[in-house]
């Protein structure tokens, strides 16, 4: 059986950690040995369980534990020697831009790949799946020294995730094209790469196996969202649209279950809470802490609303659909919403950053009972299309085909 290493940033309550854990658990059930290599922080309390054959490894801890081994010392000394050599040689090439730029690039590559190389030196025969271009770049550069197979997993809207500088963007795309393979979440993501990818596939995210059944009773007068508190979610748009809705339906509430991952997101959450207070809306708009049983808490809500500017394939959206929540979502960059939602059939799509249209779509979902029921019933079908078993098997079939 193959050893598979998923490389991510933080291991906290968020989309990528959950997605990598779901896949790792499913692979482990089939006998694969899986490691989730965390390059940043591991949270103490996460809402998803891991299989006993899945390891969560902190890269920083791994380096600390192995820094005195002879193999690691040789590797780091070799990298340091190369960097010193390139720096020394650069003193004589500053007048030749092409050579000087090439040396700068080599120095940056060595620095970026150094930490991952420490782990890879002891795990040369593993297959590395990196989520997002910033982590893939480090993995790919390290893998060149060891001949490891790498797979790129897109996690967002690449047109916003990649740099605007054309030279830098093309450099990263060329890396992805040289990987063993690339897995995209949506067809819109695939369009970004044009014909540059050699081995690729589009695989949607899976939905959790233990979600509650579709609620069939009278729905509460509550609009809900559960997400990571990040700028891309455009939560002020949701607040502004709901303020308009509340004038028509004063007995309705907006509840946002929000978790924070990056350091700046706690400050962003405070900013949004203050925004609600400034509008005098704290009595009917609430920010609630994340909870493990959030799906049970929201299953009888009137609707789920997403106001994002960009997403890959939103886990909260597909989970809301999978429990039969009527959904109103912005047709955002990345294409995840339009990939899953057929407007008027299993949800409603609205243009990005349009307060009026988001308000009108929420109002329509409240007042049109037959539309709401149709969207709920049709959205619920997604849970059979996106089971962990189906999605993980698509991944394994692709991995086998490219490695």
What are the beta bridge partners of residue 149? 127
Q: Is 269 in the same domain as 181?
A: no
pLDDT for residue 186 is more than 90: yes
Residues 322 and 392 in one domain: no
Per-residue pLDDT of 65-123, as tens digits, reads 877 776 666 666 666 666 555 555 556 555 545 544 554 555 455 455 678 888 998 89
Whether 264 and 118 map to the same domain: the answer is: no
| CATH code of residue 336 | 3.40.50.2000
Mean pLDDT for the stretch of residues 170-176: 93
Low-confidence winner among 81-85, 169-173, 213-217, 265-269 (lowest mean pLDDT): 81-85
Asked if residue 147 is part of any domain, the answer here is: yes
Report how far residue 140's alpha carbon sits from residue 71's, in angstroms, rounded to the nearest whole number: 21
Q: Identify whether residues 376 and 233 lie together within a single domain.
A: yes
Q: Are residues 339 and 393 located together in one domain of the fold?
A: no
Per-residue pLDDT reduced to its tens digit, 222-257: 999 999 899 999 999 999 999 999 999 999 999 999
pLDDT digits (tens, 9 = 90+) for 303-334: 999 999 999 899 999 999 999 999 999 999 99
User: Are residue 179 and residue 232 in the same domain, yes or no?
Assistant: no
- Predicted local distance difference test score (pLDDT) of residue 237: 98
Look at residue 108 in the predicted model and tell me its pLDDT: 55
Burial class (CB in 10 A: 0-12, 13-18, 19+), 300: middle
How many residues in total does the chain contain?
A: 403
Element (H, E) at 286: strand 285-288
Contact 324, 302 (CB under 8 A): no
In this predicted structure, the answer to whether residue 259 has a pLDDT above a threshold of 80 is: yes
Residue 214 within any structural domain of the chain: no
Gap between the Cα atoms of 387 and 310, Å rounded: 24
| Cα 257 from Cα 402, distance rounded (Å) | 39
Interatomic CA distance for residues 72 and 118, integer angstroms: 6
Residue 340, classified by CB atoms within 10 Å of its CB into exposed (0-12), middle (13-18) or buried (19+), is buried
**In the prediction, which pLDDT does 126 show?**
95
- Quickly count helices (H) and strands (E) in the chain: 17, 13
Q: Based on the domain organization, do 182 and 330 belong to the same domain?
A: no
250/164 Cα distance (integer angstroms): 44
**Bridge partner list, 201:** 183
Do 240 and 368 lie in one domain? The reply is: yes
* 371 and 304 in a common domain: yes
Decide if 395 contacts 23 (C-beta within 8 A): yes
Are residues 240 and 172 located together in one domain of the fold? Answer: no
C-alpha span between 96 and 102 (Å, rounded)? 10
User: What is the total count of domains within the chain?
Assistant: 2
- pLDDT average, residue stretch 196-212: 93
- Both 171 and 288 in one domain: the answer is no
Instruction: Output the pLDDT for position 45.
Output: 83
- Domain hosting 132: range is 3-206+388-402
Q: Which residues contact 400 (CB under 8 A, 6 or more apart)?
A: none
> What percentage of residues in the chain have a pLDDT greater than 70?
89
């Amino acid at each position: 059986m193959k050893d598979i290493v998923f490389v991510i940033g933080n291991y906290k309550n968020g989309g990528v950690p959950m997605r990598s854990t779901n896949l790792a658990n499913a692979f482990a059930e089939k006998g694969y040995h899986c490691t989730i290599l965390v390059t940043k922080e591991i949270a103490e309390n996460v809402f998803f369980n891991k299989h006993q054959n899945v390891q969560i490894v902190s890269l920083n801890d791994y380096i600390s534990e192995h820094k005195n081994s002879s193999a690691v010392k040789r590797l780091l000394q070799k990298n340091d020697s190369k960097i010193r050599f390139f720096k020394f040689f650069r003193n004589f090439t500053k007048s030749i831009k092409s050579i000087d730029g090439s040396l700068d690039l080599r120095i940056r590559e060595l620095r970026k790949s150094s930490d991952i190389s420490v782990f890879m030196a002891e795990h040369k025969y593993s297959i590395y799946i990196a989520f997002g271009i910033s982590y893939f770049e480090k993995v790919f550069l390290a893998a060149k020294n060891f001949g490891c197979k790498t797979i790129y997993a897109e996690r967002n809207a690449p047109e916003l995730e990649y740099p605007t500088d054309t030279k830098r963007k093309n450099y990263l795309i060329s890396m992805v094209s040289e990987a063993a393979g690339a897995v995209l979440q949506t067809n819109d993501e695939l369009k970004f790469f044009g014909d540059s990818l050699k081995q690729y596939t589009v695989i949607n995210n899976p939905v959790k196996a233990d979600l509650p059944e579709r609620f069939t009773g009278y729905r509460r007068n509550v609009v809900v969202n559960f997400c990571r508190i990040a700028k891309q979610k455009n939560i002020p748009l949701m607040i502004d649209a709901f303020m308009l809705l509340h004038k028509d339906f004063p007995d309705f509430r907006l509840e946002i279950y929000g978790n924070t991952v990056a350091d700046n997101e706690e400050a962003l959450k405070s900013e949004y809470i203050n925004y609600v207070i400034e509008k005098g809306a704290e009595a009917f708009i609430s920010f609630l802490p994340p909870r493990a049983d959030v799906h049970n808490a929201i299953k009888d809500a009137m609707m789920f609303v997403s106001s994002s500017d960009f997403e890959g394939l939103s886990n909260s959206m597909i989970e809301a659909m999978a429990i039969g929540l009527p959904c109103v979502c912005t047709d955002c960059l990345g294409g995840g919403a339009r990939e899953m939602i057929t407007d008027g059939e299993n949800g409603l799509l609205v243009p990005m950053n349009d307060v009026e249209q988001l308000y009108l779509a929420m109002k329509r979902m409240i007042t049109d009972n037959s539309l709401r029921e149709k969207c709920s019933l049709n959205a619920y079908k997604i849970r059979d299309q996106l089971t962990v078993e189906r999605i993980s098997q698509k991944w394994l079939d692709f991995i086998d085909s490219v490695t």
